A and B are shown apart, each in its own frame.
Chain A
Amino acid sequence: MNGFTHLLTSALVALVQLVLIVVGGPLLLGVMRKVRSRLEGRVGAPIYQPLLDLRKLFTKQRMRPRESSWLFGTGPLVLVATVVCVSTISPLATTRPPLGQSTDFFAVIFALLLGSVVLALAALDTGTAFAGMGSSRSMTIGALAEPALLVAILAMAIPARTSNLPALVRAGLNHPALIASPSRILALASFLVVILAESGRLPVDNPSTHLELTMIHEAMVLEYSGPDLGLIILGESMRLAFLLGLLVNLFVPWGVAERPGALFFILGVGALAAKVLVTGVAIAVFEVFTAKMRLFRLPELLAGGFVLALLGAVTAVVAR
């Protein structure tokens, strides 16, 4: 009986976390657009507008380029599937998610990378120039952001002696001094730069641009319509919400459910939503006051992120 209740609880936790990310992703997108509108002096679309957009998109016609292969339709599927999979097993609302002992930070990052890679391949399958451009730029940024990301993970994992995600969150909760340590702060800065780069936000990429030659991520999805487009928009917003969820739990972990129990879990869900909301609003405000960087200045930005992460790793070693 104990095993069965354990299984049931794990399934419930996974489901709640999943629903939180699936619904929370578009809502986060809506909030960020609303903040932008307000700062521009407009009323702006309501926060739930992206959900309405998605609902409509799923009823529209699917189209595919005449000479594309099966990979074209697989791109959006794999993108969403990877985020769905990692959201259920990551410490978002609780430090004991299902299958949490094997949730390695590297595994999560590489799973998300799988989604990006398959999307880039699917874009190349359209055989258009813009999609090639989007793929190329996206892969370049990914290649340059990866060193910063992995070294930032290293910086966080050294003091905790592990790269297991729930263990990293618990380490922050058990040793508050760790959160304020210089290595963590440097890793935080580096992680933030990488999140902005990977999710295609300003100053790396303007998500609402109409000029194809300035697009990085948008250019890859110009050819998608209907449910495919819906899945891509959903996947990207989910990914942003998920990464921000990881960010807040690693650097401001208080509120996460540490002990089993429905009350703690509900509090954890609320804390996660609140923290991600605040971070999203902060990023949106930052975006309003930032201009998009030139594409060929981006390596400098990402190299800066890498240097921050490296400093964080070195301080983590020295501090012991």
Chain B
Amino acid sequence: MNHVSVLITALAGLAAAIAGATLPARSRVGVAVLLTWVSSSAALVAAVSVLRSGHDIVIHTAAILPLTGVSLTLTPLGAVFVLTIVVVAMASTLYWLGYASHGLSTRSASCALPLFVTSMILVPFAASVATFLVLWELMALTSLVLVLTDQSRREVARSAGQWYAVMTHVGASAILLAFVLLSAHAGGQTFAQIEQHAHHLSGALRGTIFVLALLGFASKAGAVPLHVWLPKAHAEAPGPASALMSGAMVNLGIYGIVLVGNVLLGGGPLWWWLLVSALGVLSALYGALYAATTSDLKRLLAYSTADNMGLVLIALGASGMFAASGSRTTAAIAMVAALLLMFNHSLFKGALFLAAGAVQMVTGTRELDRLGGLLKRMPVTGVVFLIGALSVAALPPLNGFVGEWLLLQSLLHALPSANTLVVITVAVAVAALALTGGLTVAAFVKAMGIGFLGRPRSDEASDAHEVPATMQLGAGLLALSCLALGLVPMLILPSLELGARSAQRVGVPSPVHGWISLHLFGLHGILAPSLLAGGLLAALVATVLVRRVSHRRSRPWPALAPVEPWGSGRRTQTVRMQYTSTSFAEPLQRVFDDVIRPARDLDVSPAAESHYYVERIAYRTSNDDVIERVFYQPLIAAVRRWGRFARKLQNGSVHRYLAYGFLALVVVLVVLA
């Protein structure tokens, strides 16, 4: 039964891709979506059965891939990731039905999207190095095609595609190297064999493998400083694709780290997980800061993805450090927190990106400074974005809060610890968590407030209308799941615990449990999200009644009068007098000026008659990514210089090429002798 569902997953996905590539335009997207749903449902069935029974699904065939064959195994850990990806995929493909009219119905896109979804779903199934790498590469290539959908019309999309292509392959090379080292020394390329022999490897070798794998997978997850592709690619990709990339693909980076660090190498010394935490802290702070100061809606969401992945890395690192220093309970709780943060992120980031895609489709722009007043014109999309924004900000009664609370509890209960490194990491992690939380709140109040509230800042925004029903449904499903998980986290916690235990080997039974209130195993920490939500609702109803009662006496004036906003009695209050995204973020940017170092350009043109009269002032400010400017641009410049130098060696003269060949032969002979 389980084998059949895995087979259906693969075949239906492939069929969807073929349908997308071959069918005529009218039926292309519909059939592709249908087949993708079939594929996702089959994967869902497989994942749920693994999580219910606790047994793995194993498939091995020598066909399809020459030399190595294909090896698929679904462990509970993999099942958790499959579950995450399937949920986002189903919502995004449903959304795609409505979005298709907006340029995402070309043959290449309709072939690439289902293939992207299928390859992402199958990555956690992979049980051998070859299978893993093939699926990984397939995932990268198909997402690259999706990022480049708009490249013929926009130069920025092409550049984003280039950055993405290079960075994902640099990451893939690191992963390849790590896997090659592993399989060469562990005597086999299936994960089962590697797990068995991994402890024979020397500490230095294990360390090198872990660092390489960490760099490769962290780059995919969008961890700073390997994140530079993320704001570009996620912003340029069309709606459903960016939701899939941010909501599903980055999770596979986390999966890779857990796979190599915990499963294959069997946990490691403290310094591995210290490195993971350090990356996490850096990503969280950097991502939140840039999200708070950018004015492009999708770039903001992309930086927020880097921020949230940083939080997941902090949780992973904390879990590993606690396990290495002997506290099993907090290690288990931290691992569950990591998986919960990841799952929550997929849900709310998927919802946010789908809403942003809807806004972009209707208004044609991503610039917050050209939006506004959209909550009245796009009620459903606005509410979806509001729910997503409150979830990212980790506010009760939504799901983001539960994940954040769990992480805070695991950090709190690890202290006091005998290990000073753990103590320092925990303190830094809590401070980083708090600061990112605050910055994220500011960023999303800005995104929601400037983008959806107030008065429309452009004609496109004032002409906005609601999107088709399938798009509303897709985005709405994810938003509702955020609410559901916020009220009853226990819906997903048992599965996450199974996944955590299958990753960590040692753990405690049910580290987090309880339907009405969450209890921690053996520690004093209780949270009742549904009761808190109930209390808030009751209080809200009471307050509404109080306000209504105060107005029950009829009066000669209108009860709720719509009036001109008060602007100190000015003659006209234009729309441009509202706060913009840049002005909203200005105090924060000023505080962090030394970190961001925006490029500012002021151009004053005096009038012809006199130098003292100003005719025109042009002010330009841009928040380029600091790490890109400081590390990557010089690196790219150096590579270009080297390339130019190397081109001198290739001057077209056959005599010189023959001389090169002769020289190489002489060197080889000398070395062999």
A–B contact with Cβ pairs below 8 Å: the answer is: yes
What residues of chain A have their CB less than 8 Å away from a CB belonging to chain B?
58-59, 61-71, 73, 77-78, 80-82, 84-85, 88-89, 99, 101-102, 104, 106-107, 110-111, 113-114, 117, 120-121, 124-129, 131-133, 135-137, 139-140, 142-151, 154, 157-158, 161-164, 167, 212, 222-223, 227-228, 230-231, 295-296, 299, 306, 310, 313-314, 316-317, 320
Nearest CB of chain B from residue A171's CB, rounded to whole Å:
11
B494 at the interface (CB under 8 A from A): no
Beyond A132-B583, A212-B568, 5 additional contacts (C-beta under 8 Å) are: A61-B558, A71-B453, A84-B539, A99-B528, A313-B430
The 7 closest A-B pairs by CB, nearest first: A132-B579, A143-B438, A124-B449, A102-B528, A146-B438, A150-B434, A81-B539
Q: B65 on the interface (CB 8 Å rule)? A: no
User: Given the interface contacts A113-B441, A117-B393, A121-B449, does A126 sit within 8 Å of B434 by beta carbon?
Assistant: no
Q: Which B residues lie within 8 Å of A164 (CB)?
A: 524-526
Q: Are B542 and A84 in contact (CB under 8 A)?
A: yes
Mind listing 8 A-B residue pairs with CB under 8 Å? A77-B547, A84-B539, A104-B527, A113-B393, A128-B566, A139-B446, A146-B438, A228-B547
User: Is the Cβ of A65 less than 8 Å from the Cβ of B555?
Assistant: no
Partner pick for B544 among A77, A129, A136, A154, CB 8 A cutoff: A77
A129 touches B453 (CB 8 A): no
Neighbouring B residues of A78 by C-beta, 8 Å: 540
Q: Is the CB of B583 within 8 A of A62?
A: no
Contacts of B532 in A (CB 8 A): 85, 102, 107, 111
B591 interface contact, C-beta 8 A: yes
Q: Is the CB of A104 within 8 A of B434?
A: no
What B residues does A106 contact at CB under 8 A? Answer: 405, 408
Q: A126 and B524: CB pair below 8 A?
A: no
CA–CA, A280 and B324, complex, Å: 48
B566 touches A222 (CB 8 A): yes
**DSSP class of B's interface residues: helix, strand, loop or mixed?**
helix
Query: Within B418-434, which residues are at the interface with A (CB < 8 Å)?
Result: 423, 427, 430-431, 433-434
Whether B526 lies near A102 (C-beta < 8 A) is yes
Q: Give the distance in Å from the alpha carbon of A61 to the alpha carbon of B435 in the complex.
A: 40
Q: How far is the CA of A82 from the CA of B386 in the complex (A)?
A: 18
Known contacts A126-B454, A140-B587; A158 and B448 CB within 8 A of each other: no
Q: Chain A residue with minimal CB distance to B585?
A: A136
Does B395 lie within 8 Å of A296, measured CB to CB?
A: no
Q: Given A110-B401, A125-B454, A128-B567: A102 and B531 within 8 A (CB)?
A: yes
Give the nearest-CB partner of A228 in chain B. Answer: B547
When chains A and B are docked, how far (Å) is the Cα of A137 from the Cα of B445?
Answer: 12
State in angstroms the CA–CA spacing of A140 and B293 once bound together. Answer: 11
Interface size for B (C-beta < 8 A) is: 89
The residues of B that contact A59 with a CB separation of less than 8 Å are 550, 553
Residues of B within 8 A of A77 (CB): 540, 543-544, 547
Q: Does B394 sit within 8 A of A, measured CB to CB?
A: yes
Cβ contact of A162, chosen from B438, B439, B524, cutoff 8 A: B524
Assess whether B437 is interfacial by the CB under 8 Å rule.
Answer: yes
On chain A, the residues within 8 Å of B395 by CB distance are: 110, 113-114, 117
Selected from B435, B535, B579, the residue in CB contact (under 8 A) with A124 is: B579
Q: For B450, what are the chain A residues with a Cβ–Cβ distance below 8 Å? A: 124
Residue numbers in A under 8 Å from B563 (CB-CB): 63-66
Say yes or no: A62-B551 contact (C-beta < 8 A), given A84-B543, A85-B536, A89-B535: yes
Q: Is the CB of A231 within 8 A of B547?
A: yes
Q: Which residues of B contact A (CB under 8 A)?
A: 292, 372-373, 375-376, 382, 386, 390, 393-396, 401, 404-405, 408-409, 411-413, 415-416, 423, 427, 430-431, 433-435, 437-439, 441-442, 445-446, 448-450, 453-455, 517, 523-528, 531-532, 535-536, 538-540, 542-544, 547, 550-551, 553, 555, 557-568, 573, 575, 577-579, 583-588, 590-591
Q: Which residues of B contact A99 (CB under 8 A)?
A: 528, 531, 535
Q: Which residues of chain A are near B453, meaning CB under 8 Å?
A: 68-69, 71, 121, 124-125, 127
**Complex contact B565–A223 (CB within 8 A):** yes
Q: Is there contact, CB below 8 Å, between B396 and A110?
A: yes
Query: Contact partner of A125 among B404, B449, B538, CB < 8 A?
Result: B449
> Are B536 and A67 neighbours in the complex by a CB distance under 8 Å?
no
B405 neighbours in A (Cβ, 8 Å): 104, 106-107, 110
Chain B residues contacting A124 (CB-CB under 8 Å) are 445, 448-450, 453-454, 579
Alpha-carbon distance A69/B376, docked complex (angstroms): 6
Q: Which residues of B contact A129 (CB under 8 A)?
A: 567, 577-579
A85 to B524, Cβ gap below 8 A?
no
Do A317 and B415 form a contact, CB below 8 Å, given A80-B543, A106-B405, A113-B395?
A: yes
Q: B442 → chain A, closest Cβ, in Å?
A: 4
Give the CA-CA distance A147 to B557 in the complex, in Å: 47
Q: Are A227 and B551 in contact (CB under 8 A)?
A: yes
Q: Which residues of A contact B586 (CB under 8 A)?
A: 136
Tell me whether A62 and B559 are in contact in the complex, defined as CB-CB below 8 angstroms, given that A135-B445, A167-B524 are known contacts: yes
Chain B residues within 8 Å of A73, by CB: 560
Q: How far is the CA of A104 from the CA of B586 in the complex (A)?
A: 34
Interfacial chain B residues near A101, Cβ < 8 Å? 517, 526
State whether B539 touches A80 (Cβ < 8 A).
Answer: yes
Write out the residue numbers on chain A whose beta carbons fall within 8 Å of the beta carbon of B446: 136, 139
Contact between A139 and B375 (Cβ–Cβ < 8 Å)?
A: no
Question: Are B445 and A117 in contact, CB atoms less than 8 angstroms apart?
Answer: yes
- Residues in A with CB closer than 8 Å to B573 are 128
Which residue in B517, B526, B565 is a CB contact (below 8 Å) of A66?
B565
Roughly how many angstroms separate A222 CA and B524 CA in the complex, as a whole number?
Answer: 44
Distance, CA A84 to CA B446, complexed state (A): 27
Chain A residue numbers with a CB within 8 Å of B577 are 128-129
Task: Tell me, rounded to whole Å, the shortest Cβ–Cβ distance linking A320 to chain B.
Answer: 4
A14 to B311, CA, bound (A): 36
Contact B442 A158 (CB under 8 A): no
Contacts of A146 in B (CB 8 A): 434-435, 437-438, 441
